[in-house]
Structure 1
Amino acid sequence: MTKHIPLQATSACAAVPPSAVLDSAHLGEIRGALGTIAADDRAPRRTLKARLQTLLAIAGPGLIVMVGDNDAGAFGTYTQAGQNYGTTLLWTLLLLIPVLYVNQEMVVRLGAVTGVGHARLIFARFGKFWGAFSVADLFLLNALTLVTEFIGISLALQYLGLSQFWGVIAAAVIITFAVSTGDFRRFERFALLLVAGSLLLIPVAVMVHPPLPQLAHDFFVPKMPAGAPLGEVMLLIIAIVGTTIAPWQLFFQQSYLIDKRITPRFIRYERWDLCVGIALVIIGAVAMIGFSAAAFAGRPEFGAYTDALGTAHGLEQAAGRLPAILFALALLDASIIGAAAVSLATAYAIGDVFAVAHSLHRKPSEAKGFYAVYAGLIAFAAALVVTPGMPLGLLTNAVQTLAGVLLPSATVFLLLLCNDKAVLGPWVNRRAGNLFTGAIVAVLVLLSVILTVSVLFPGVGETTILGILGGGVVGALLLSGAVALIARRGQGVRAEPPARSVVAPEEWRMPLLATLPPARLSAVSRTWLLVLRGYLVLAAGLVLYRIVELIAR
């Protein structure tokens, strides 16, 4: 594999610092699925037509990462919520909207401003331990998540009456080939076609026609399912959070945005792309919970969820064959886009960390390692799914559990990086964003603890869960206060302030990583990172031990 040294980007402004971009393929014109923007195009967009054309050219990263998140695991989680508890948990989606935007908007700024992937930034600013931990965490989780994507493909094929074995193999070949053409625009068009396919969920909801007033009420008014065990409901809520806010999203969107060559000049357009993607993911989630609730209401299967195949059969019995077929096709579509995005997130991270060619603009012969990682993960997941006797249900649960346990660490580093002035310069977080993200981290840690305890001790009672919730509220307040203190003392990652620059924010980019002043964590940040390290090592180790124990039985 040929190494690529950091490159200096040319600019019309001589004061612009050199770019830290690691692969020369990440520099040049933007060649999106729906338009092109020249590398030297700095003309102001004064008319509505010009702005729409720019938005179309920029659109892609936000749409793909969000719709890709409504993957096979999400199909299982949302339809389980609808079949078991009706529409009573719709309000969780409303609460997740600002969380999705804040998390992924920070990723947008990091990608556009730095030109360096998430894993490489963690290595550079927090050291080898956390860098290696983030990559190992991502690799393990993504490999397991890919298995769930091919399980989704298998279930969809089974309902459609097609060969599961040959269908899974064919899907693996298609997913691999779609990424390996050496043409970024061609892949993005393929991905956006799959994004459009996610809209199949809307006619399913129309044909099943769940009561709209009830959907609106439960979306805006929080309540818990009456008579349902608190422990089971909490685990499902955690699964909804885990499937909606997944660690791979951070790595994928940042690297894909870099590969698309988006710079700070186009951040506001990328924010709109993200907003449209969030709207699509929420619409899809509401549709799945809504039509699953309506299809199983009053039936013996209500409260007895099995899998997405069972959902398809339930839809057929409630509303006919057509909506069930559309649901199966939507599941197939979602699993394919999810598999492509998850594999790319890993391949990008590996290429970024080792500074080797890692771009969809390159042909496989020009980026052998990048495409080998991508294709290897796809082949591994497909092989597991078609292997007889494989505990696929256990693997699916393992993905949700580990994602829930490890998610807080990804958000912590995202927050710290977005407060590093040497990295983001004029694009660092504001205090309000820090307080909100600090509260998100506290909630994620709390949910992670509940999930870990529930997996390790299946007989845990409601009293224990309520105790964890009560203690978590106190912890959330303390952590929010700590984040406020971090913001007041230099926002967590303190580096020597860069020389004052006259470069406009839309032209500012992170200088070469080797030239950045060392990051110096405040005492508060170091303390929280040590606590987080201890918790993650213990919790992840215990969960993995539990999974191995169950497989051995």
Structure 2
Amino acid sequence: MYYDTVRPDPGPDPRKDQSAAPSGTAVLDSAHTGDIVGALGTIGLHDTGRRGSWGHRLRTLLVIMGPGLIVMVGDNDAGGVATYAQAGQNYGMKLMWTLALLVPVLYVNQEMVVRLGAVSGVGHARLIFERFGKFWGAFSVGDLFLVNALTIVTEFIGVSQALGYFGIPNYVAVPLAAVLLFAVVAGGSFRRWERFLFTLIAMNVVMFPMALLAHPKLGTTAQGLIPQFPGGLDSTLLLLIVAIVGTTVAPWQLFFQQSNVVDKRITPRWIRYERADLWIGIAVVMAGAVAIMATSAFVFHGTDLAGQFSDASGVADGLRKHGGSTLGALFAILLLDAALIGANAVGLATTYSLGDTFKKRHSLHWKVSEAPLFYVGYALLIGIAATVTLVSDDHVQGLITQGVQALAGVLLPSATVFLVLLCNDRPVLGPWVNSVRQNVVAGVIVWCLVLLSLALTAATFFPDLTTTQLETGFAAGAALGLIGGILVALRSRQESRIAAAEAAARLRAADRGGTVAPAPLDKAGLKALLETERMAWRMPALSTLTRPKFSPLRKAGLITLRGYLVVAVVLVIVRIAQLAGGN
């Protein structure tokens, strides 16, 4: 049944061996099974009640809500605030179209990890290791650890800049934030942690008065939805666009949300509510991004600071100078809030993956003494990032902040490719595998990300490339992707029809005592049978699954993508160094 009152979180039973998964499932940590214990209520493990009224559904959503909202708001972290402010200060609202195009990317990517988490019961890193082997697992987790460590540094830079605005020195602000972040996570209560995050998320309400104080113009804002390349398409603009992509759709989100769905004990029955949670989070993150971009765009328009972005601290000071002390203070509060949420989520994404990799306890339901690797890893990440922030100067911090977002954008295609492969892995997802439509959309997203990365590479190698030449390259790449997409869609449609027929046969056989009925089902009957199978499906223990074999063509494609991304990462670093030198 559904519990309207909030019951105490009993936590996991410490007498259970976390390595002993429940019979027939892949769950690695015993804390990942049990009641759904959310910030706003509890749903029993064996709850099968029907949600007939809107009120009942709303109460259920409030309990389920969390992973999608947190991962999206965490996306507007300190680096995100700085990147959106840079876009507004240097280009006005002319890059707002990038945010609109990222909405479907956000949903498609994160909806896939929702399904993976709820159906498999294990984290993203664990699935990559088990289904693709140690070689590809090490690459994926290695990328994650590197970018996440740098990302957490940017969060502490944001804390330093935000509290510095109010006169709190760096050597006080950074250690204080580090202690707070660890104390909240190490409490041994998932509910307490989620309530703290909800409190921080509620502080995002300051974005509305902040944007209104900037006196935005509706017409100018709407024009920003038209795709355009202000000043021409060059490596500087491309780097910023890649940074917007990287900060809005970051690889750490995939790992965090899947693990958080598992940690909250969400099962396939509740996927529709988690999808709603995700849409709520997307609405919040888009509103915040537009508000930040509009604030810097309209306040700095026509001033000496237009086109002169330095860092988030410079934005706060500039807003105070040209918009008033209240506007500057609201921006600093939003920056601090974003940094704390981001550091928490990115740190947990990393240590969740650490537990998945080494098969150790990794849940917020455990206390420090019960899951030492999980909490020690989190503490080390926070401690190292705080130390780097304290010993680095403003110039180095600015380079890290700009570079880490671009690196995330460049590495995103690789992470998305593995995500799509997992969501087409029938032994893992069974009837929850991607549909043909989902594969087409996911393929378009991956290819667009690759083209964007290729354009940045070309513009860095050949700085004299014109806007027309780059646009021609985009058009040629889009045509090539269209041809490949049609071929993939045709193959996926054939596989989907075969799988649907097999599933219907199994269900009819089960209903008729093992005798398959010869009469074909109509569309409605087949849909009902498939839905029945979906609700009952959970991924079997990973040790019982045969690892998929890569065809030579697929293996060559993955190796090519990996090799290219290594080159692209180097070129991003080169471009950041060039910008540091004033080129």
Alpha-carbon distance in structure 1 between the residues aligned to 2:439 and 2:20 = 31
1:288 match: 292
1:264 match: 268
Alpha-carbon distance in structure 2 between the residues aligned to 1:466 and 1:238 = 16
Aligned-pair CA distance for 1:548:
9.0
Kindly indicate whether the alpha-carbon contact (under 8 Å) linking 1:58 and 1:269 is maintained by their aligned counterparts in 2. Answer: yes
CA spacing shift, 1:440–1:229, aligned 2, 3 Å: closer
Asked whether 1:93 is paired with 2:99, we answer yes
SS in structure 1 opposite 2:42?
A: strand
Alpha-carbon distance in structure 2 between the residues aligned to 1:229 and 1:311 = 25
Alpha-carbon distance in structure 2 between the residues aligned to 1:216 and 1:147 = 35
2:210 match: 204
Aligned-pair CA distance for 1:523:
5.2
Alpha-carbon distance in structure 1 between the residues aligned to 2:237 and 2:284 = 25
- Pairing 1:48-67 to 2, within 5 Å after superposition: 48-67=54-73
Which of 527, 536, 548 is the aligned partner of 1:507? 536
Amino acid at match of 2:346: V
1:307 match: 311
CA spacing shift, 1:486–1:246, aligned 2, 3 Å: farther
Asked whether 1:166 is paired with 2:166, we answer no
Alpha-carbon distance in structure 1 between the residues aligned to 2:577 and 2:34 = 48
- Give the unaligned 5+ runs of structure 2: 1-15, 511-531
Alpha-carbon distance in structure 2 between the residues aligned to 1:210 and 1:549 = 34
Asked whether 1:5 is paired with 2:19, we answer yes
2:403 match: 398
Amino acid at match of 2:448: V
Deviations 1:279-313 (A, max 9, x none): 00000011111111110011111111111112112
CA spacing shift, 1:326–1:361, aligned 2, 3 Å: same
Alpha-carbon distance in structure 2 between the residues aligned to 1:132 and 1:423 = 20
Asked whether 1:521 is paired with 2:554, we answer no
Asked whether 1:380 is paired with 2:409, we answer no
Alpha-carbon distance in structure 1 between the residues aligned to 2:390 and 2:554 = 46
Aligned-pair CA distance for 1:234:
2.5
Alpha-carbon distance in structure 2 between the residues aligned to 1:272 and 1:115 = 20
Alpha-carbon distance in structure 2 between the residues aligned to 1:200 and 1:113 = 37
Aligned-pair CA distance for 1:551:
9.9
Amino acid at match of 1:509: R
Amino acid at match of 1:294: F
Aligned-pair CA distance for 1:489:
6.2
- Pairing 1:99-498 to 2, within 5 Å after superposition: 99-219=105-225, 221-225=226-230, 227-228=231-232, 230-389=234-393, 391-454=396-459, 462=467, 465-466=470-471, 468-484=473-489, 486-488=491-493, 490=495
Deviations 1:475-531 (A, max 9, x none): 42244235325524648xx9xx89946663122110100111331334553342232
Alpha-carbon distance in structure 2 between the residues aligned to 1:188 and 1:56 = 12
Kindly indicate whether the alpha-carbon contact (under 8 Å) linking 1:456 and 1:546 is maintained by their aligned counterparts in 2. Answer: no
Aligned-pair CA distance for 1:143:
0.3
Kindly indicate whether the alpha-carbon contact (under 8 Å) linking 1:312 and 1:324 is maintained by their aligned counterparts in 2. Answer: yes
CA spacing shift, 1:453–1:4, aligned 2, 3 Å: farther
Q: Which of 234-243 and 321-330 deviates more?
A: 234-243
Alpha-carbon distance in structure 2 between the residues aligned to 1:164 and 1:471 = 50
Alpha-carbon distance in structure 1 between the residues aligned to 2:409 and 2:461 = 14
Amino acid at match of 1:313: D
Kindly indicate whether the alpha-carbon contact (under 8 Å) linking 1:405 and 1:449 is maintained by their aligned counterparts in 2. Answer: no
Deviations 1:421-478 (A, max 9, x none): 1111111111011011101100111112223444566666546634542442234224
Aligned-pair CA distance for 1:126:
1.2
Deviations 1:395-424 (A, max 9, x none): 223312321221101100111111111111
Alpha-carbon distance in structure 1 between the residues aligned to 2:133 and 2:374 = 23
Aligned-pair CA distance for 1:113:
0.3
Amino acid at match of 1:398: G
Kindly indicate whether the alpha-carbon contact (under 8 Å) linking 2:232 and 2:467 is maintained by their aligned counterparts in 1. Answer: no
Q: Which of 464-473 and 209-218 deviates more?
A: 464-473
CA spacing shift, 1:37–1:402, aligned 2, 3 Å: same
Kindly indicate whether the alpha-carbon contact (under 8 Å) linking 1:120 and 1:352 is maintained by their aligned counterparts in 2. Answer: yes
Kindly indicate whether the alpha-carbon contact (under 8 Å) linking 2:453 and 2:568 is maintained by their aligned counterparts in 1. Answer: no
Kindly indicate whether the alpha-carbon contact (under 8 Å) linking 2:118 and 2:268 is maintained by their aligned counterparts in 1. Answer: yes
Kindly indicate whether the alpha-carbon contact (under 8 Å) linking 1:144 and 1:395 is maintained by their aligned counterparts in 2. Answer: yes
Q: CA RMSD in A?
A: 2.5
Kindly indicate whether the alpha-carbon contact (under 8 Å) linking 1:456 and 1:543 is maintained by their aligned counterparts in 2. Answer: no
Kindly indicate whether the alpha-carbon contact (under 8 Å) linking 1:3 and 1:356 is maintained by their aligned counterparts in 2. Answer: no
Q: Which of 465-474 and 35-44 deviates more?
A: 465-474
Q: Which of 342-351 and 389-398 deviates more?
A: 389-398
TM-score (norm 1): 0.92
Aligned-pair CA distance for 1:353:
1.6
Which of 82, 86, 102 is the aligned partner of 1:80? 86
Q: Which of 243-252 and 204-213 deviates more?
A: 204-213
Kindly indicate whether the alpha-carbon contact (under 8 Å) linking 2:78 and 2:338 is maintained by their aligned counterparts in 1. Answer: yes
Aligned-pair CA distance for 1:354:
1.3
Alpha-carbon distance in structure 2 between the residues aligned to 1:537 and 1:324 = 40
Kindly indicate whether the alpha-carbon contact (under 8 Å) linking 1:231 and 1:461 is maintained by their aligned counterparts in 2. Answer: no
Q: Which of 524-533 and 164-173 deviates more?
A: 524-533
Alpha-carbon distance in structure 1 between the residues aligned to 2:210 and 2:374 = 38
Deviations 1:193-252 (A, max 9, x none): 111112211110112221123323423x33332x45544332222211111000000000
Deviations 1:337-392 (A, max 9, x none): 00000010000001012111000000010000011111100001000000044822
Alpha-carbon distance in structure 1 between the residues aligned to 2:177 and 2:267 = 34
Alpha-carbon distance in structure 1 between the residues aligned to 2:368 and 2:459 = 44
CA spacing shift, 1:351–1:548, aligned 2, 3 Å: farther
1:540 match: 569
Kindly indicate whether the alpha-carbon contact (under 8 Å) linking 1:60 and 1:273 is maintained by their aligned counterparts in 2. Answer: yes
* Identity score, percent: 54
Aligned-pair CA distance for 1:321:
0.7
CA spacing shift, 1:514–1:264, aligned 2, 3 Å: same
Aligned-pair CA distance for 1:272:
0.5
Amino acid at match of 1:369: L
CA spacing shift, 1:456–1:199, aligned 2, 3 Å: farther
Deviations 1:65-102 (A, max 9, x none): 00000001111111111111111111111111111111
SS in structure 1 opposite 2:539?
A: coil
SS in structure 2 opposite 1:127?
A: helix
Alpha-carbon distance in structure 2 between the residues aligned to 1:372 and 1:486 = 46
Amino acid at match of 2:353: A
- Give the unaligned 5+ runs of structure 1: 10-17
Alpha-carbon distance in structure 2 between the residues aligned to 1:405 and 1:236 = 12
Which of 21, 42, 45 is the aligned partner of 1:36? 42
